[in-house]
Every structure is written in C-alpha cells, then in structure tokens.
A and B are shown apart, each in its own frame.
Chain A
Amino acid sequence: MAGPAPATTPVLELQDVRKSFGSVAALRSGSLAVQAGSIHALIGENGAGKSTLVKIVAGVHRRDSGTFRFQGEDVDFGSTASSKAAGIAVIYQEPTLFPDLSVTENIFMGRQPLGAGRRIDRARMHEEALSLFERLGVQIDPRRPARGLSIADQQVIEIAKAISLDASLLIMDEPTAALSGVEVERLFTIARSLRDEGRGLVFISHRFDEVFALCDTVTVMRDGEYVGTNAIAETTNDELVALMVGREVAELFPKTPAPLGDVVLDVQGLSSAGTFHDVTFQVRAGEIVGLAGLVGAGRSEIARAVFGVDKYDAGTVTMNGKPVPANRPRAAIGSGIAFVAEDRRKQGLVVEESVARNVASVIRRRLTKGGLLTSGAENKAAGPWASKLEVKTNALDMAASTMSGGNQQKVVIAKWLATNPKLLIIDEPTRGIDIGTKSEVHRLLSELAGQGMAILMISSELPEVLGMADRVLVVCEGQITAELDRAEATPEKVMHAATRGASTTEEIKA
C-alpha cells in the first residue's frame, strides 16, 4: 500500500534507514516521507523501531545506512544541536525543562537575546515569550518557574521553543500519553495551526482515535521495518491494526500445555494512585499468565507493587492463601515470589560483581554456616545454576558487566531460580537479547511451568505473549481491559484492548 508519489519535495524523507545496536537491529529498513503542511502519524507496536527512527532524525543516533534527506538535501546529524539548527524539533512525552528557571528562560535557554553590554535583554525576551504564547493561544505566565507546570503546559513550552527557532519539522513522540481530554484538544488545535503555517508534523501515538482525528497521513512500522503509508481518509482502524500486527505468531514460541494446579498468586483490587487501579487477577501453578499492553500502561508497576518494591494504596496480595506484606521485597521473596525485573543492568544485577555473587545474592542467607558466608559456599551454590542455564563465562568470578545481554539475563534468571520460587514474575524476559538465547529462555519458561511453577510474564512483544501465555491479561492505562484465553487471544484483540481503539474509533468514523 505505497502512497501516491508526492508532488512536492517532502520536508523530511527517510529511505531504508538501518540502525543496529551491537548485534540487535533496532531499525532494519525505516522509511518515512513527511510533506510540509501536513500531520503525519507514525504508528507501530512497541519495538517496531519508531523511537529509533525519531532519534536518528533528532541527531541522537547516527544511522548505519540509508538515505536521510531534510528539505530536499542529504543530511547526517552528528548531534541534537545540529538537528535543531537545521530546523527539527522533537517534543518528547515527558519534556525536560529546567524546573527552577522561568518559562521565558526555558524557551530561550542558550540563545538569550543580548542587549547593551552583552547583558541579557530580559524585557525583549519577555515580550517575545508573550507573543509566542499569544500565537499558540495559551495562557501561561512567562515569568513563573517551570516547576509545577502540568505536562501539557511543559509540552506547550517545548512547542513555543520550537516555533521561536522556526522549526520546519516538529516530531511529537506520544505527546498525549499523559494529557487529559481538554489538554489533548488544546494540543490538537496548536498542531493544526502549525500545519496551516506550512510546517511538517510527525505525530506518534498508540491511540487510534487521535490518529484519525488529527492526522492526514499515516505510516505503519513493524519489527524495525516500513510497512506502508496511506492517507487517513482512505484507511480504517482494522486495516491499521492488521498492518501493525501482520505476522504469524503461533509457531514461534510454543508453550507445552501443562496441567493447571491451585491458585498460587491472588491479587485483589490492587490500586496505586495515578499508576494502576483496581487490578485483580490470579496465577495458578503450571500456568503462564501474560501481561500485555503498551509501554507505560502500568504493567511493570503492578509487578513491582506485587513484589513489594513499590507501595500500593489499596488491595491485597496473597501467595498460596497467605497474605504477602506490602512494600517488603524480602517478605515477598520469603513467600516464594521471584522477580526478574525489567531493567537488567539497573535492577536485575550488580553488574560490577561476579557471576557467583550475583547468582547467590538472594539465597546467601541460606548459604551461611554458623552465620558465616564464604566465597567457596557462594561458588558451590552458583555453579550448578549457572550450568543449568548454560551461562557462558570463563570463571565464576568474572564480573557480570563483561557478559552479553543474553548471558546477563541468564544470570538474573539463575539467581531467582536458585531461590526455588513458587511464582516467577518476569518482566520483558527477552528484551535486548539475541535470538538464540531468546528461544532458550522461552523453552525454559515452558519447562518451569511444566514443573508446576506459576509464571507471570510481562512482555511488550506480542508474539511472545501470544506464543507463551496460557492466558493473556491486557493492561491499558492502569487497568485490566481484557482477559483472553490462549485460544481466543489474537493480535487484533490484544491490540484493541491495549489501545482501547475498538470503541472510540468506531464513534469517530461514524
């Protein structure tokens, strides 16, 4: 479904852009052509390569290969500064303003107008800020500090900054994720007026209703590749979902069926203000429950609360019928919960420590003799677990930092399996690891479930969820919006529940 050939030179043109990080290709073949005076939606699942593409345009990353033209000229930005200077502005989901500086100072940071004697011309700066806000039709006092402004207002300031730089291309990366309905409307009004001024806009969103309401063109990406571009008027919600998912998943990660046992984890009415609300679910022995949803939907936060790293406001967590005290990871571990966290290097491992110490780090209290712990005891306990998971290392005293991501993940899993858990919570089990290790991890999870372990798996990779999980819970904006059995879980159903696209887009199109 390639779009019609553009009549004019696009303001931004990317073709077959490729970018790898180590052995992982984040972007295989990214293509995007944005016309001046249009709002272009860029959509795709998590990990489809949207962010990498944006970062290449913004000058954060350099592409490995491919064409990158801006206003008809070949460009290659080595820094965000050169991208900005060329006229590209990127507005992120959470703007980064200097909280203690005034709104005006934030807008003119680094390029303050100078008056007599090279002193900053505050009056002129203030006037320019006022006229910017007038153009945008917003009421923000330019003199107030940025601290305490809502996310929406902070985004407006970023936009004001972009306009004052006369940016010809604005990229908004999920700008509406943290906004309320009224704020979204205001943002859209601003976006439309910028479009009418002849600027090009790229709008990244997971909310199809917004894509249909705001944009005129849409480009779909999947697995780091360009899938297609279409005019919004000529496409439908279902077509976009099909394009985003579009792949056979069943044969990728087969989970061998295991008999389900008793309920191991029972979560009732778990709530945490602003993060998740009234979350209730159970995980049985031998069952893999997949938590699907978009990044930022609150899945990891739910897991962190269950494990006791974060606090929660209401609800209960029960393991095998016994309540698990809140906010105490050690108690959760004692009750049989293991938690392979999302960020391996920050939360999963002490990367500067050795393999043996990392593997033994949760069970070391059990390894003491007369209260004393020796490296010998740690090595003895760690060796078999490293071996079972086929960790590739020269020796047990090698620092985890020297290993590949896949091997580090094996160390983290080994460390938790060593505790002999009844429930394994695993957040993004295969993020950033090579394909070989990936299938090893999947085989392992299937095997553990077969041995009667309860597994709660969070994954942003739809094929992984659909292939591995006996049951899929879809989380959207902090709430479980769908519960799907293995048989009825299809990519389309999950994506609909994750974006809440099904109901809202119908209304808009009607």
Chain B
Amino acid sequence: MSTPVLTRPDGQARTYDAYAQPWWKRTLLTREMAIIALVVAVYAWSMGNVANFDSPLTLYYLFLDVAPLLLIALPMTLIIITGEIDLSVASVVGLSSVLVGVLVQDGGLSVPVAALIAIAVGAVCGAFNGFLVAYVGLPSLAVTIGTLALYRGIAVGILGTTAKTDFPEKWTDLSKERIIEGQPYPMILIPFLVLLLGFVLLLHFSPFGRGVYDIGLNDEAAQFAGVDVARTKLWLFLLAGAVSALAGVYFTLRFGSARGDNANGMELQVIAAVLLGGVSIFGGRGALHGVVAGVLLIGVISSAMRLEGQTVNVINIVIGVLLVLSVISTNLLGWVSGQVRSRTRGSRPSTSRAQSGTSSTTEG
C-alpha cells in the first residue's frame, strides 16, 4: 500500500527544531556531568593534598580494585533503568570464583575453558532470575534476594570454608598486567572497554535500548508499541549473570584465591555506584557515562581516604552519605521544579474557586 500522504489545508509543511536548547546546555547541565565534574574535582584535590596519591601505583590499584564494580555496573544500569534490580550479582561472582577454582584445580581444565564454563553458568543463573521476573511476573527485589542466598549457598556449599589458591602463574599475572609497561592501566580495562562500548551501543544507540527506557518509564505503553517487555528483561538479567561471572573470574585470578564468600556484599556497592551515577531507582532515567563516573568516584574517594589512613568503615560512611545526598538532590530538584510548576498553574483553580464562592452566595 502506498504511504498515506496527508494534505494540509494550506499546503505547507511545518518544520521543527530538533532540540529546544543549545547542545552545550543539553550535554553539560546534566546529572551525569555533575558526577564527572565531582570525580575530576576530588581527583585533582587528592593529587595536591593526599600524600602519595600522585604515585603511579595509586591509579593502577584503583583500577584493579574497581574493575569488578565497573564490569557489573554495566548490565546493572540497564536493569535499574527498566525499573528492576538484581541483588544476586555478587553471589554469582562468588559462584563463578568457586567454579573456576574447582574446575582448574580439581578438574584439571585450563583457565580459559574453566572461565567460559563459569560465565555460561553465570548466564544460566541470570536467565533464571530473568525468567522468574519477566515470565512468572515476580518482583525482582524478592526474586534476587532469594537467589542471592541460593547462589551464595551453592558457592559456599561446594568449597566450604576452604579456598583454592593454586592457579597457573601465567593467568594470575595477566590479571594484574599493565597494558603498557610503566602506565597505570591494567589489562582488565581492555575487556571492560570492549563491554562498555557494547553496552553504550546497546543502551544509547539501539532500538533495544530505547525499549529499555520505555519499559522503565511506562511498561504498558512500551507493550502497546510492540516492545517485548518480558524478553527484554530476560536478556538483561542473563547479561548481568554472565558479566558478574566474568568479574568473578577476574576476582579469582587477581587474588589467586577461589572462595565461596568472595565479593560478599558487592551487590550493594554496585547499586550504590549506579545510583550515584545518576540512574533513577524508579527506572527510566540514567546514562552509562554517569555510571562509569559514579564507580570511579567511589574508587577515587576510597583510594584517597585509604592513603590518609582511614578505615573501611569511615570510607563506607562517606560513600553512604554521598549516596543519600545524591538521591536527596534529585528529589529536591524534582520538588523545586514541581513547586515552580504548581505555582504557575495554581492561579487558575484558585480563581475558579473564588468564582464558585461568589456565585453560590449570590444564588443561595
């Protein structure tokens, strides 16, 4: 059938500006940019004020430390944008770590084969979450609290309290190798950057990604527009499982230790970083550059405070306060703009009420 061409009475077509604001306003005045600026500011301040922060080792270890967070934050961002959450990621890290240990040491498999199997198992774990959420229709919070315990339980069940520590040096060294000798960038950044590119294309430059935002903002309208809501969610949870398992492989090799309780509690760090990076916990809002900045902010602050001799507890307090502030700031901004809007709108109802008052007195 031919494209229906509509005729306008005046025969002229109106054109629209693509954007209401100039590009720099759209890019710079965002929450993501605020977080990036904060990272740069904290980094610059620490360079000048924290002893040894300017040592090349600082940045190197910072990257090694935050690598698992960086990796898992990628799929977590997409999941949270759809309005769901995955609390089982750290347990998948632990399970994957145990699997690599057992398969390499007891099974005699090579590290790459063991890693692939672990990642496949991670994908299955994620798909199980996704199935329960998307097709059975259970709330993801409840499902992944359950599988958080389930996957961690399996991991600890396999190895008990023991650890597998005998890994080929070739692989443990590779996990800590630098991309270019003398530079503070470890090898793990390469798979991270590849995945980052993939997730950026998926979220920001693909129909699938648009669907992810639609689901988070209005899943009913998304369904009416032909977005396969259930399948999208299934894929996201599957990806989260696979990437978490990859992080588990890295975690194991970096510390040369496969334990069931590896990365205990990391899920909350990941979610904190994602939220800090400007992703709305209610879904529909957020971008990956903000999330990367959010992870790095946590990394820089931890690293600077550790050099200052602060304990983990103090670091956690600071990051916790920062997270609460960031959440409050969004709500505060929303409240302020809501106030402004209701004030401009408020004039009409009040006059109509006044009218009704006068008319009822005259008639009554």
Interface residues of A (CB under 8 A from B): 15-16, 20, 62-68, 74, 76, 307, 309, 329-330, 333, 336, 339, 341, 346-353, 356-357, 361-362, 364-365, 367-368, 371-376, 379, 383-384, 386-390, 393-398, 415, 417, 420, 422, 444, 447-448, 451-453
Contact = CB atoms under 8 A, between A and B. Distances in A.
Contact of B1 (A76, A339, A452): A452
Contact of B217 (A65, A348, A350, A388): A350
22 contacts: A16-B363, A20-B352, A65-B356, A307-B224, A309-B223, A329-B224, A348-B224, A350-B214, A350-B218, A350-B221, A353-B213, A368-B207, A373-B205, A373-B209, A390-B14, A396-B17, A398-B20, A417-B4, A420-B1, A422-B1, A447-B7, A448-B4
A434 B214 CA distance: 28
Interface in B1-34: 1-8, 13-20, 26
Interface of B: 1-8, 13-20, 26, 201, 205-207, 209-210, 213-214, 217-218, 220-226, 228, 284, 352-353, 355-356, 359-360, 363-364
A65 B364 CA distance: 11
A387 B364 contact: no
B355 A64 contact: yes
Given A372-B201, A395-B16, 4 more contacts: A309-B224, A339-B224, A365-B207, A448-B4
B223 A415 contact: no
Contact of B20 (A309, A346, A397): A397
Nearest to A352: B217
A185 B363 CA distance: 42
B17 A395 contact: yes
Contacts of B8: 388, 390
Contacts of A444: 6
A388 B218 contact: no
Given A309-B223, A309-B224, A420-B4, A395 B15 contact: no
Given A372-B201, A373-B205, A387 B217 contact: no
Contact of B13 (A329, A374, A388): A388
A396 B8 CA distance: 20
Nearest to A355: B16
A371 B14 CA distance: 30
A353 B217 contact: yes
Contacts of A350: 213-214, 217-218, 221-222
A336 B201 CA distance: 29
Given A74-B360, A352-B217, A390-B14, A329 B20 contact: no
A387 B4 contact: no
Contacts of B214: 350, 353, 361
A contacts with B: majority SS: mixed
A276 B181 CA distance: 72
B352 A64 contact: yes
A389 B6 contact: yes
B337 to A, nearest CB: 12
Contacts of B13: 384, 387-388
The 3 closest A-B pairs by CB, nearest first: A395-B20, A395-B17, A65-B359
A394 B20 contact: yes
A349 B223 CA distance: 11
Contacts of A394: 17, 20
A361 B213 CA distance: 11
A66 B16 contact: no
Given A346-B220, A350-B217, A371-B206, A396 B226 contact: no
Contacts of A74: 360, 364
Nearest to A392: B14
Given A353-B213, A361-B225, A395-B17, A67 B220 contact: no
A65 B17 contact: no
A422 B6 CA distance: 15
Contact of A346 (B5, B209, B221, B228): B221
A364 B207 contact: yes
Contacts of B19: 395-397
B327 to A, nearest CB: 19
A329 B226 contact: yes
B171 to A, nearest CB: 34
Given A350-B218, A362-B226, A364-B210, A383 B16 contact: yes
A154 to B, nearest CB: 26
A484 to B, nearest CB: 27
A361 B18 contact: no
Contact of A372 (B206, B224, B356): B206
Given A368-B206, A373-B206, A388 B15 contact: no
Nearest to A444: B6
Nearest to A15: B363
B201 A387 contact: no
Contacts of A347: 220-221, 224
A300 to B, nearest CB: 12
B17 A349 contact: no
A87 to B, nearest CB: 20
Contacts of A388: 6, 8, 13
Contacts of B207: 364-365, 367-368, 373
Contacts of A309: 223-224
B4 A451 contact: yes
Given A348-B224, A373-B210, A65 B360 contact: yes
Given A373-B210, A453-B4, A349 B221 contact: yes
B210 A65 contact: no
Contact of A374 (B205, B284, B352): B205
Contact of A396 (B18, B352, B353, B356): B18
Contacts of B1: 336, 420, 422, 452-453
A383 B19 CA distance: 12
A371 B225 CA distance: 19
A208 B185 CA distance: 80
A487 B4 CA distance: 28
Nearest to A397: B19
Contact of B16 (A368, A373, A386): A386
B210 A357 contact: yes
Contact of A67 (B3, B210, B213, B364): B364
B324 to A, nearest CB: 25
Contact of A356 (B7, B18, B224): B18
Nearest to B215: A350
Contacts of A396: 16-19
